[in-house]
Amino acid sequence: MIGGRPDMVDDEHRLKMLMVAGLGGDEAAYRAVLGALARHLRGFFRRRLASRPADCEDLVQETLLAVHTRRHTFDRSQPLTPWVFAIARYKLVDWLRRHARQDALHDPVDEWRNDLAVEGGQEADTARHDVSELLGTLPAKQREPIRLVKLEGLSVVEAAERTGLSVSAVKVGIHRGLKKLAAQFRP
Amino acid sequence: MRTDDLVALLARGAGTEPMAVPARVWAMAVAGGAVAAVALMALMLGVQADLAGKVSTLAWWGKAGFTLAVALPALALITRMARPGSHVGRLPVALAAPVAALWLAAAIQLAGAPPGERLALVLGKTWASCPVWVTVLSLPLLIAALAALRALAPTRLALSGAGAGLFAGAVGALVYTLHCPELDPAFVAVWYVLGIAIPTGLGAAVGPWILRW
């Protein structure tokens, strides 16, 4: 009974209010809900992939990207957490399937060496993907809107003026670019 | 990349999110796929000559009603599947009911027919082409429904693909009734059901790799 614990119910209520405000354009609320979801997701993945903390953070970030790029599928008349954890479960199952396949192809010694390499240099809340590296793989009309709006903090209108693209082209470029970045999380 | 940085990046300039995106996605997919199916039927098959006469019969309405009674819960199924965390609920019952009713009508018809005529009732005149045409007419909508699912967020890919095929097959069958001369429940119970089952299987097979995100 997940719904029975008062703190969870409380969290659901608080997170959903933040999410609804965030979808309505309240950036601080949206940032707060994504930050809180990141903590919940980290717990979710660590309980299930205890032996691979670095992979957990990849999955946390992949799921956050999915939550963001698919936020139009959240029904505001429904609770938030079942929606988020359904996405998290989907990403976990996809990851497990992918790795079952990869592991079957891998030499076991290689896998062991990978694990060692990962343990050395990873911060607990850092994934292996680097956004500026990933951005380099996108076409300019997706890369520039993301760089200007998401990294430099310009408004969509300012980014449109700077790039000569229309406002809607900037929005579409950001949306498609983030979807493509999300896809890069699963090689 | 640190997760906090990703959160900041995603939130920055996120703007407002319109509420009715899935409804718009589905409306466009259904309209596009259905219009394409009707156009395909009109160009390749043609509307049957005495459609007006057939439309006044109970059997024609039974046939068209069966396809609609499958199409509507199938559409409900895929719109639910497109949202993470939703459940199928009682939809399997709603989908099984029209098939059970049709099979019952077919059984009654066959039981009342002389044994020597039963096979002829089932085969009709067009048994070989019926499932093929239903499948062909379903393809535009199958593609449109899969594209719609890709724009949303299905988490059960084979089931979502099957639902897309089921919906496309049922609407394909509905469009095919405008051409098809057969009216016997015994015919519909086998060949229409097969025609709907083919795109359903197709959708279930392609779902896991086309719908992955």
Quick check: B74 and B212 in contact, CB under 8 A?
Answer: no
Tell me which of 1.10.1750.10, 2.160.10.10, 1.10.1740.10, 3.40.1170.20 is the CATH number of domain A1-127: 1.10.1740.10
Task: Give the mean pLDDT of A73-93.
Answer: 96
Q: What is the largest CA-CA distance in chain A?
A: 53
Question: CATH topology of A1-127 equal to that of A129-187?
Answer: no
Side chain identity at A134, as an amino acid letter?
A: L
Q: Output the CA angle A159-A164-A167, nearest 5 degrees.
A: 55
Q: Which residues of B touch A156 (CB under 8 A)?
A: 13, 15
User: Which residue matches tokens 């029904």?
Assistant: A75
The CA distance from A152 to A45, in Å, is 31
The predicted pLDDT at position B20 comes to: 87
The CA distance from B2 to A127, in Å, is 6
Q: Which residues of B touch A90 (CB under 8 A)?
A: 84, 155
| pLDDT tens digit sequence for A126-166 | 777 777 788 888 999 999 999 899 888 888 899 999 999 99
Quick check: B13 and A153 in contact, CB under 8 A?
Answer: yes
| pLDDT tens digit sequence for B148-176 | 999 999 999 999 999 999 999 999 999 99
Interface of B with A (CB under 8 A): 1-19, 21-22, 82-86, 152-153, 155, 212-213
The predicted pLDDT at position A1 comes to: 44
Q: What is the ipTM of this complex?
A: 0.90
**Pick from A125, A127, A153: which is nearest to B12 by CB?**
A153
Of residues B61, B60, B94, the one with CA closest to residue B167: B94
Are A31 and B7 in contact (CB < 8 Å)?
A: yes
Q: Output the CA angle A67-A54-A114, nearest 5 degrees.
A: 130
Q: Where are the domains of chain A?
A: 1-127, 129-187
User: Which residue matches tokens 């097979």?
Assistant: B205
Q: Residue B2 forms beta bridges with which residues?
A: A126
Class of domain A129-187 (CATH, top level) = mainly alpha
Least confident of A24-28, A77-81, B52-56: B52-56
The predicted pLDDT at position A105 comes to: 60
- Supply the mean pLDDT for chain B: 94
The CA distance from B67 to B180, in Å, is 13
Helix (H, G, I), strand (E, B) or coil at A31: helix
The CA distance from A87 to A130, in Å, is 22
* Mutate: best of A20, A59, A73, partner B, most B CBs <10 A: A73
The CA distance from A185 to A164, in Å, is 30
- Using only C-alpha atoms, chain B has a radius of gyration, in whole angstroms, of 20
- Nearest residue on chain A to B80, alpha-carbon basis: A73
How near does any CA of chain B get to the CA of A132, in Å? Answer: 9
* Backbone angle region of A153, left / alpha / beta, with phi > 0 → left and psi within -120 to 50 → alpha: left
Long-range contact list for B80-83, CB < 8 A, 24+ apart? B81/B149, B81/B154, B81/B155, B81/B156, B81/B159, B81/B160, B81/B163, B82/A73, B82/B22, B82/B148, B82/B149, B82/B152, B82/B153, B82/B154, B82/B160, B83/A73, B83/A74, B83/A75, B83/A78, B83/A83, B83/B22, B83/B152, B83/B153
The predicted pLDDT at position B33 comes to: 95
